Structure 1
Amino acid sequence: MTGDNNYYGDAVHINGGRGHTGIVHHHHAPRATLEETLRAVVELARALRGEVPEEDRASIDDALPVLADGPSAEPAARRRSLMALAAVAATVGAIGQPLLDSVRAALELIAR
């Protein structure tokens, strides 16, 4: 396009200097809703259930009904269930990390 002086994107000009490491982009992903986050927690807990010892399966089984109710669940019961899942996820190591991250995200949303 001739004469079009509009540019929509990064324009970087570096004149001299040292130690340039590139461009840092701060793109913020849209925040998930509490309902979406709780749904992810439930899915991850179900997936992890088959990978943990029987005692931990009982903790997961106790937590899932409360969390499956989503945001309509009683807040204290929901928080207890999330904490129980966090404990299970933390004790099984790397395979529990996705669930632990998801539980933390849910707890952050609840704390607001």
Structure 2
Amino acid sequence: MSTNHYYGDNVNMYGGQNNVGMIKNQTVPAAPESAELRAVVQELLHLVRELRAQVPPFSVRTIDEALPVITADATVPAQERHRALMAVAGIAATVGAVGLPVVDAVNRILELL
């Protein structure tokens, strides 16, 4: 006698063609945005707009591509937001003391996320 215990998903496939496995279509509920996160994001956006005047054109383009993703909106994928924040922080770090407030704001946002 055999007893099977299954925890979580169990899929058995025998034969067939073009099997693609199990598609879950699950989403993680979005965390509500905090007032503190919104405030820090607004501060960062203000600082980044000032930073644009201090960096070369290629960096300006990278900043412009990152700005729409840097929001307090919980619907933006976390990986995309993180990538945009890191790109802006990297650019800010290259300009020295002028970019330090931007780097600090990015670090505060990352702590809040």
Same fold (TM over 0.5): yes
Q: If the length of structure 2 is used for normalisation, what is the TM-score?
A: 0.64
CA distance in 2, matches of 1:57, 1:106: 21
**8 A contact 1:34–1:71 mirrored in 2:** no
Letter aligned with residue 76 of structure 1: Q
Other-structure match for 1:57: 60
Other-structure match for 2:100: 97
Secondary structure of the residue aligned to 2:67 is: helix
% identical aligned pairs: 42
Counterpart among 11, 24, 33 of residue 36 in structure 2: 33
Q: If the length of structure 1 is used for normalisation, what is the TM-score?
A: 0.65
Q: Which has the higher helix share?
A: 1
Question: Structure 1 stretches (4+) deviating beyond 6 angstroms?
Answer: none
Question: Is the aligned partner of 1:47 residue 2:47?
Answer: no
Name stretches of at least 5 consecutive residues in structure 1 with no aligned partner. 1-31
Give the aligned length: 80
Root-mean-square deviation over aligned CA pairs: 1.8
